[in-house]
Every structure is written in C-alpha cells, then in structure tokens.
Structure 1
Amino acid sequence: MKKLIAAFVVTVMSISLLAGCGNKAPQTTTEEGGTTTGNEASVGTEKEVNLIMYLYGGEGVANKAILEALNEKLKASINATLEIKYIDWGDIATKYPLLWASGEAFDMAYVASNSTVPYATLAKQDALADITDLLDTYAPTLKKELDSGAWDSMKVNGKIYGIPSTYSEYTAYGFISRSDLMEKYNVTTISSIADMEAYMDAAVQDGMTPLNGSVNLAMDLYRMFVATTKGYIDAPGVPTSEMYLVGDKDSPYEVLHPAFTEDYEAFAVKMREWADKGYWAKDVLSASQDDKDNFYNGLSAGYISHQPDWTGNYGTQLEKLPGVDSEFYTFAEAGNKIVKKMGVENATAINKDSKNVERSLMLIEKLMTDEECYNLFQYGILGKQYEVVDGKITKPEGFNAEVDGGGFSGWALRTDKLNIPAVTEDSRRYELNEKWATVAIDNPYVGFSFDSSKVTAELSAIANVDSQLGTQILLGKTSQDPKEAVEEYRKQLQAAGIDAIITEVNTQLKEFKAQ
C-alpha cells in the first residue's frame, strides 16, 4: 500500500493516506438538528462548523500550519474548518474497521472497493451517508465535472454513497531495471519474464541481488503472476493487499482463486528456482528494507512496483543514482490487460452519523474544484512546501524538511483538471498514460462493489493463511517441495472458507450482471 500512496505524493510532502467513510439515508439530519430531504434542503452556512476527516499515516511537522491556511479559505467560503485525525500505517488493518464499529464522531474518510472494509459493505451496513439527492444542491459543480461513469461506479443499489476521484491513472505493475546495468549485461530490452530472468541472472553473476527486498516482495510477485498469466485480471472479493481472486478479461463474472490452478503450481516451482538462484536474499522473510529502497541505495538491481510509483520516484533516482536511468517492463501489456482505474477504487465518503453531512459535501467539493483549496490540500503552502517552476511542482529554495515537511496524501480527492505535474515525476508517466488510454480495457467491475458482510469470518481466516504459507510459497521459502506446499495451501484455503467467498462473489456478480 505504501508504494501506491507514495506515487501520488510529491516529495515535499510527508506521506499519509486519506482514510475512512460515511453513510446517509435519503432523509438527512441538518446542521440545525432537523431533518430534510435533498430536494427541500437550502444551502445554509450561517453556523460555523468543524469537520473531522480521517487520514492514514502520521502528522507532518507543518500540517497544522497548512490546515490553518486552508481553513482560512474554507471559513470564508463555506463557514467551516477542517480537522484531520490519523490512523498510523501499522494500525490500518485493525483501526480502519474499528472506526466504523466504534461509534466515534467524525465526518469524512477514505473509501474504496478493495479497502479493509469494502465501500459497498459499509454502504449496505448503513454506515455511509446517501448523497444521491444532495449533490445538486450542495455539490453542483462537482456533480457536473464528474462524468456519469464515475458516479455510476459509486452506486450501491442505485444510490450514491461516496465521491470518486477523477484523476486518470493506470496502476499497472512492472519490473524496474537500471539502464546502465542493462548495457553492462548486454540486455538490450526487457519485455518478457525471460528477458527479466536474463537480466537478473547477470546481476547475480555481477554480485548484485536482483530483487533485494522484504516479505512485501511476495505480493509483488503475486501481482506479476496474475498480470502475466492467461487472461487473468484482478477481481473483487479478497482485498488486493492479499492473494486476491481473479477473473478472465473475456469472462470476468466467474471468479476463482488461482492457487487451485496448474499455472499457480508451476509458478510456485519457478519461485523456488528464483529463490535458489539468489534473486532475493536468504533472509527475505525477516528483512526490513524493501527492494525499491535498496534499488535507490544501489543495493538491488531492480524492484517491482506500479507505474505511478516508478515515475513518481524520478526525483529520488536523480538524487541517489545520479546519471543512472531506469526502464519499466509492464507485466500486463503483452496480454492486453492494462485496466482503466474506476472511481470507486479511490473515493471519499461521509459518515452517516455526521451532524454536518451537507457541509461535508460542500467541503469535498471545495477540495476538488477550488484551485486554491486544492493546491493547499494537495501540495501545501506556496513558498513553504512547494513552488511552481515551468509548470511543475518543486521544492522551494531553503526548504527544510524538519520545519517545512508536511502535507496530506489526499489522492482520493485528486483531479485531472487541477493536477500539477511534479518535477520529481518522470515525464514517461504521461507518455504511458496517453499510450495506454488507447489500448486499456474497461474495468468489467465498474459499478460493482463486493458486500463482504456474509463472509467476514472467512476473509479474516484467509488473511491468516496468506500471511503464513501463502507468503512462503511466493518467496520459495517453504520447508516442503513447492508442489506439496501448494497442495497444503489449497487445503488451508478451503478450511478457511475460500469456497464460501468465491460463491458469494459469483452470486453478487451474477446479480450485478443481470441489472
């Protein structure tokens, strides 16, 4: 997850991800305590309100100053102030679900179709505010600027419970290599797993570890497997932070777990071979540094991540590897499986129990459509956290991270219209986005959000299996023969309830397709 978020935040800002979510029925509680429907509501801002938003991560040293500047704008326009509360990275898996179960008073938070508690689950559990009939009154500009497809992706039983991001992105995963090492190893291009292996074999011979990472490497290898195998595409059901389910791009409405295929068994054998070859360190299960960090410190010949993370770390590359260029092999490109991201994957919602649903919606609109508010929330204070040179975000002269470092990872509130490229971004980000826009396939699950409420116990059990044996298989670190380990993994998945999860996903997909 950290990789994904880091890709969206300029280096002048500390990393923290917008988190949480809320729900509201068609009848809403007004700021004065009465009830009204969206059609009857009038925009009243006479009473000043303080709105609480939850973010992932920690508080940057300059965050209070940034909020103070932002709140001056918000108070002047909608008579509201914004307060940020945080969920530390290591606490997301436990505290994000508790946020919804605790009854704590807050107004807004991040939601997604594949978050720890999926967006649709929260909506169906009556945790989020229904904003369907409020948009025309309280966010008319936002409603107009977002296309119908974005809003459709947020619908649960015909109602809208969240505001989707409108930022165009393709989070296709791939292998990042060093151009200087490719030249040294006489590897002219890397456009296949075989090419990748040739490069990594040469790196080992050169005394370098090709993928010198931590246990997090396991999920990157799993993503590589899915992206390079048959017509597999990521499917809903199991969170994408775990060994998730897959569908076929040509028949996506029957999902499966790839662990039960011969392809996965063969992949497990290959991963044992990679481990034995020294493609990653022997202590990978206990290592603390990821392959990306080691890559930029000159300790890894490559790393696996998604395109926005690679292009977003261009500034780090210039700083830590001066004179070194890098290349990106996109796993899904050969199979024509680059998928357009849908709005519900990055969204913001309002807590059903918020006493200020309408004002929260107005605030979200300000953060996504007002240029001054957008820049403050996304980049910080001009001259302190950033400046714009030749149309690109960069650090101002005299920037001191110990004093000026801060900002919010508000990637769920980013828009194409107001986004400013960063000098720390590789220009190939936009070149690839333009190229992929012509070939990317539509996400077949747009508008579908898996309701996991009937299989919460099974999902928890699956997570435990994946964190142990599932991870060991992917890193070639099982005590058993790889094929025997896969057979045991299958038994553990079935005991944990994977069949019930798959059945529930397919049932919901069938209903979704019939709509």
Structure 2
Amino acid sequence: MTRRTRRPIRAKNLLLACLFLLCACSNQGGAERPSTSNAAGNGIESASPLTAVQEGEDVYPMKSYTLKFVYTGAPQKDEEEVESAINDYLMAKINAKIDLIPIDWGPWNDKVNLMIASREMVDILFTAQWNKHAVNVSKGAFLELDELLDQYGQGILQSLDPVFLAGAKINGKNYAVPTNKELAAQGGIVYRKDIADELGIDMSQVKTIEDLDAVYQIILEKKPGMTPIYMKQGETFNAHYIGNFDALGDTSIPGIILKDGESTQIKPTYEEERYVKTLRITRQFYQKGYINKDATTNQTMNNDALRSGDAFSITSALKPGKDEELAIQSGLAGKLAQLALNVKTIATSETAGSMLAISSTSQDPERAMMFINMLHTDVYLNNLLNYGIEGKHYEKVNEHVIRPTPNTPGYNPGTNWMFGNQFLNYVWDSEKADKWDLFRDFNQNAKISPGLGFVFDGTQVRAEVAAVVNVDRQYQTALETGSVDVDQVLPEYIESLKAAGIEKIIAEKQKQFDQFLANK
C-alpha cells in the first residue's frame, strides 16, 4: 500500500506543526468558542490566535484546504448551515474547511466500495472492525497513522485509553483513530415502554430471546398493525452484538469465537450451537407473524422503523442511555426503554467498533489528522458537528445539558458515537445528567474476549473471502430474519460456503490466532 506518512519531515510539516501548536495552545480545555462574526452567533470571543485574516488575504503558513469527510448517516436539512459554521471555526484554527458527505446506511457499503475502488480523492472516512476495516486496509485504502498521531494527534494520545489504539492495530499499525466512547458492549432490544405499560406487560420477566415470545403474542393480539420486532439485514437476534460472536476482525470474514466464552477454537457460525438455536427461534417468530415480512429486502433503518410508530421493538447494541438517545432521534422522548439479552463483554469489535481513517488519496493527511484531533479535544467543534447551532438546533440548560427546539429535527444526525470523544458531548435534558459517569461504570466488570487485540489478516485468502461474501448475500439475511425454512436452507448455505472456500479461511484464521495467543 502507499506509505505516505513514513517520510522525512519536510518544510510543509514543520509549518503545519507550528500552526498545530498555535491551535493547541489557544484551545486548552477545548471549550473555546468563535467570535460573533461566525454563524453560531454566540457572542463569545474567538480563542484562535490567528484572527488577523483580512478579506482576500491568506496570512497562514499553508494554503487553505477543504477536507472531504465521508461518514454514514442520513443527510440533514440544515447541514449546509452547520457546515458553514464549522468552516468559520476551522478557518480560524487550522485554515481549513470541511465538506460533510453523509451517506445513508442503505447505500453505504456500495458507495464506499466504489470510492475506494475508483481511488476517489477524499480525506476522512468512517470505518469499523465490523464494516470491512481490515479488508479495506489490505486494499491500501487507509494510511498508517502512527507518525501522524505523534505529530498532530497529541490530544488523542492524551485523552484516549491506550487499549483503544492497541485493540485497533493491524499487524502492529494503526490505520484509524477510534472514537473515545464506551469500551464494553452489550446487546438486546429497545422497545416501546409506553405500549408495554399500557398493556400491562412486565418486561422485567424477559431474560432471554425465548421469553419475548409471550410479549410479542400480546402485541400481535392487542396492537393490530404494529410489528412486534422489526428486522433487516444485520439487525437480528443473531447480530454479533446479541450473539456475543467475536469475528476476530471484520465481521464479513467467517470464523468466530464466543466473546463470553473461554474457547479459542475458531468455528464457522453454522457449527456454533448458539447461532443455530437462534436461527430456529427466529424462524418460529417469523411464522407467528412477529417479524416484518419484508425483512430480507427492507432497507428502512431501525430508528426510522421506531419513528413510524409501526414497530414495538428493534434489536440494538446497548449502552447506558441508548434508549434515551434513540427516543430523541425518533421523536419518542419518554416512550422507549432498553432490555439486555446477554452479558457485557470487551473485544476488538469495541476498541475498533467506531473509527475515523485517513484515506490514502488524501492530499493533506496532516490537516486531516489535525481535524480528527480537534474532534477529540475541542468541545465547541465536537458539539457543533453533533448537535448543530446553539440557539437554533438546541438551547442550553446549563454548561453540559441542552434541550431541543422546534428546529432540532433540521439537524439531529445521531452520530455522536462516530466522532472523536463522546465524553465531550452535551447531554439532552431528557437523558440522565450523569450519563458519562454511567458510561465509565458500564466499562467495569465486563467479560474480556479471548480474542481482544487480534485482527485477522485476510490477505492470503482474499479470493475465498470474496466468494464467501457473495454466498452470504444470497442466504444470510433470509436465514437470520427467519424468512426461510432453516432445515431446508441452512444445509444449502453450508454447502455453498464450503464450495466457496470457508474451511481454508477458518484454517488460516486459526493459524494466525494461535500465533497471536502464543506471543501474548
């Protein structure tokens, strides 16, 4: 792959380093705000020392640059206005602008794959262990970041728990910067608490997926037209966040261990009893009418399914306040609750579960790292990107708590978990005021996966991985949503996977994993 960051420090780097130091010195604590001339209009003097910019004059040591920032999420109505406010701030800080390029979840994979294959010039991309990060690294899509982190990412290195960067390495190198967020993981459902209360359903009695049968039967009978559990591709009871399956890297590459287990023997999912048992339960739920009939083809996001009012529950990765976050995004404040269906774990899927990478096509990776560093350290920028403009998209209750306005739906991307440092985020007044303390508590006493820190390198089996991915497209979603008969289709799926080379992938993954364990 291209190795742009391993090179002597040129004059450009030195000048950028000076600019970075000026920015860092001006923003200690990260709570500084721009002047009244910017779009936020908050009346607080800018912290930037580089305020002597005259119209039409570039007094910065480097030319201005526009960073193209690609991430997953629904485009927002007021995106252009927020982008303008961000640009006013960034120009004073690092002489840069941002081009926000959100891509909705449905077309995300296809569009990003095309960007990477065509070598489109972008700067920063969202990536994750579960979203083909390792595969894209092997394609040379992302830069190695170690030197850039040392030069322009000191705020990241100082604030981010080292386990995040250690757990996100591939062959000893970091190719993306993890989000500073919850370290533990748990899965279950988010459901309509108001409906459960109305119907007298005691959700505290639900401990397993099987226990949901009685709940969903009541919903089906008492709320005609409401789907008891909404499912789509990747959002099922066999999602890794509920099954506690550790894919030891990219979840699109077969071969798992259990995060909550002790075994280090890698298996294909169809040999894992938990996976097959859940397939059968899901099939029963589908036949009883609990699951939406279009689960194999529907691309409606879980949040939108809740927002429509037609779904009682969705599967979800959980964390403290996840139900409250979704309630705000879906217009259901006070009406949602969450229910865990497994134990807390920590695995590479968490340390590398939400990251920002710098594209190997970037024309200014130094400036890209400066921006990522600001998302980890700058309170104003972080919250501007996440919540929009104060006084329009939200109002402050106090220094840390905000409340919505009639304009909140114009910019409410719900992407906090993707950008920088979540512990800098404001908290909505409908959320718990001690949310971030709950996050820290959540990280305690979690079961650590035997595979923490290992990421499979699929270079040696690239052709087989591609073939397996094609097989998965044909069978996986239909099976995991209960849409087809397990006894009939699962054997066909297994036969096709074996023909595609899954056993060779499992053997190579086990070989690498055994070596990793021996070297620990």
Q: TM-score range by the shorter chain?
A: 0.7 to 0.9
2:415 aligns with: 409
1:354 aligns with: 362
2:165 aligns with: 151
User: Number of paired residues?
Assistant: 473
Alpha-carbon distance, 1:411 to partner: 3.4
1:501 aligns with: 505
- Distance change >3 Å, CA 212–CA 292, structure 1 → 2: farther
Choose the corresponding residue for 2:18, options 32, 36, 43.
43
Task: Please tell me whether the aligned partners of residues 128 and 350 of structure 1 are also in contact (alpha carbons under 8 angstroms).
Answer: yes
- Distance change >3 Å, CA 280–CA 495, structure 1 → 2: same
- Distance change >3 Å, CA 432–CA 340, structure 1 → 2: farther
1:245 aligns with: 256
2:70 aligns with: 54
Task: Please tell me whether the aligned partners of residues 378 and 409 of structure 1 are also in contact (alpha carbons under 8 angstroms).
Answer: yes
Task: Please tell me whether the aligned partners of residues 303 and 326 of structure 2 are also in contact (alpha carbons under 8 angstroms).
Answer: no
TM-score after normalising by structure 2: 0.77
Task: Please tell me whether the aligned partners of residues 131 and 250 of structure 2 are also in contact (alpha carbons under 8 angstroms).
Answer: no
Determine the C-alpha separation between the residues in 1 that align with 2:140 and 2:268: 30
- Distance change >3 Å, CA 175–CA 155, structure 1 → 2: closer
Higher relative contact order (CA 8 A, sep 6+): 1
2:126 aligns with: 110
Determine the C-alpha separation between the residues in 1 that align with 2:104 and 2:314: 25
Determine the C-alpha separation between the residues in 2 that align with 1:239 and 1:181: 34
Task: Please tell me whether the aligned partners of residues 341 and 443 of structure 1 are also in contact (alpha carbons under 8 angstroms).
Answer: no
2:473 aligns with: 467
**Are 2:90 and 1:74 aligned?**
yes
Q: How big is the alpha-carbon RMSD for the aligned residues of Structure 1 and Structure 2?
A: 3.7
**Are 2:429 and 1:423 aligned?**
yes
User: Counterpart of 1:346 in structure 2: which amino acid?
Assistant: S
Choose the corresponding residue for 1:329, options 324, 332, 339.
339
2:175 aligns with: 161
- Distance change >3 Å, CA 217–CA 208, structure 1 → 2: farther
Determine the C-alpha separation between the residues in 1 that align with 2:84 and 2:303: 35
Choose the corresponding residue for 1:392, options 394, 401, 413.
401
2:28 aligns with: none
Q: Equivalences for 1:297-308 in 2 at 5 Å? A: 297-308=308-319
1:311 aligns with: 324
Write the deviation string for residues 229-286 of structure 1: whole angstroms up to 9, x where unpaired.
xxx533235536x987343534354321221345544443333322232222445445
User: Counterpart of 1:314 in structure 2: which amino acid?
Assistant: A
DSSP 3-state at the match of 1:345: coil
User: Counterpart of 1:257 in structure 2: which amino acid?
Assistant: P
2:390 aligns with: 382
**Are 2:453 and 1:438 aligned?**
no
1:370 aligns with: 378
- Distance change >3 Å, CA 159–CA 455, structure 1 → 2: same
Determine the C-alpha separation between the residues in 2 that align with 1:126 and 1:291: 32
**Are 2:353 and 1:345 aligned?**
yes
Determine the C-alpha separation between the residues in 1 that align with 2:154 and 2:188: 39
Counting aligned pairs with the same residue, the percent is 23
Q: Equivalences for 1:169-248 in 2 at 5 Å? A: 170-179=184-193, 181-182=195-196, 184-185=199-200, 187=202, 189=204, 190-208=206-224, 211-212=227-228, 216=232, 219-223=235-239, 227=242, 232-236=244-248, 239=251, 245-247=256-258
Structure 1: gaps of 5 or more residues:
1-20
DSSP 3-state at the match of 1:332: coil
Alpha-carbon distance, 1:351 to partner: 2.5
- Distance change >3 Å, CA 208–CA 440, structure 1 → 2: farther
Determine the C-alpha separation between the residues in 2 that align with 1:177 and 1:86: 27
Alpha-carbon distance, 1:369 to partner: 0.7
TM-score after normalising by structure 1: 0.78
Determine the C-alpha separation between the residues in 2 that align with 1:91 and 1:188: 35
Write the deviation string for residues 446-497 of structure 1: whole angstroms up to 9, x where unpaired.
433333333344333333333333333333332x5x3232222211221222
Determine the C-alpha separation between the residues in 2 that align with 1:466 and 1:491: 12
Q: Equivalences for 1:265-280 in 2 at 5 Å? A: 265-280=276-291
- Distance change >3 Å, CA 439–CA 95, structure 1 → 2: same
